[in-house]
Structure 1
Amino acid sequence: MEPSRWERAKYGAAMGGAVGLCIGLVFGGLSAMRNGPGRNGYVNNLAQTMMSSTAMFAFFMAIGSVIRTEEALAIDYAELDQNKGRKNIWGGAMRFKTPPVVILQQQQQQQQQQRQEN
């Protein structure tokens, strides 16, 4: 069973948080070594850099994970291929005669017509 969008967002946020934490540690440490502690001291400056990068990476990775969900568009391309088993002149498998998006639109129109008839 595929994870839901909410679960994918949580996984993306966790991965982004881990990456952001590491990047915040590296860049915050480099910044503290180059520029000094500033007003807040080394630890507070480093913590602020780590938390801001963690929040940013987690947010964007969560959004990216949700965008990439393909559960609504699970397509069996082998079923849609109209040129099964045929080869092109270079010996490779032939591509679609009709793009898959057009085929899906045609299938959706047929389903709508069947619903209207019933």
Structure 2
Amino acid sequence: MPVPGGYYQQGPSCFDRVKTGFMLGFCIGMASGAIFGGFSALRYGARGRELVNTVGKVMLQGGGTFGTFMAIGTGIRC
């Protein structure tokens, strides 16, 4: 039996899905960048400020890259 009034619930728009895909990919890329960048920097002997700067840079690069690919993939599926 239909709901009186004709109100129907809509799902998220394509732009919302792309934003969500980017944010999910960014978080996953940041986590993997912290793990791999941290091990890599420690292996090369970085300590203190150099370690933090190196790991932070790798985290942002990994997050941006993976987030972009996740956003593109989500946009293709829309």
Structure 2 length-normalised TM: 0.80
Could you list the runs of 5+ residues in structure 2 that have no partner in the other structure? 1-9
Superposition CA RMSD, Å = 1.5
Shift of 1:36: 1.9
Larger RCO, structures 1/2 (Cα 8 Å, 6+ apart):
2
Shift of 1:2: 2.2
- Over 6 Å off, 4+ runs: none
d(CA) in 1 for partners of 2:54, 2:40: 9
Could you list the runs of 5+ residues in structure 1 that have no partner in the other structure? 70-118
Amino acid at match of 1:56: T
Residue of structure 1 in register with 2:40 after alignment: 31
Residue of structure 2 in register with 1:3 after alignment: 12
Structure 1 length-normalised TM: 0.54
Q: Pick from 32, 52, 66: which aligns with 1:57?
A: 66
d(CA) in 2 for partners of 1:20, 1:3: 24
Flag the structure with higher helix content: 2
Amino acid at match of 1:52: Q
Shift of 1:3: 1.6
Shift of 1:32: 1.1
Please show how residues 97-112 of structure 1 align to structure 2 within 5 Å. none
Which of these two proteins has the greater Rg computed from alpha carbons?
1
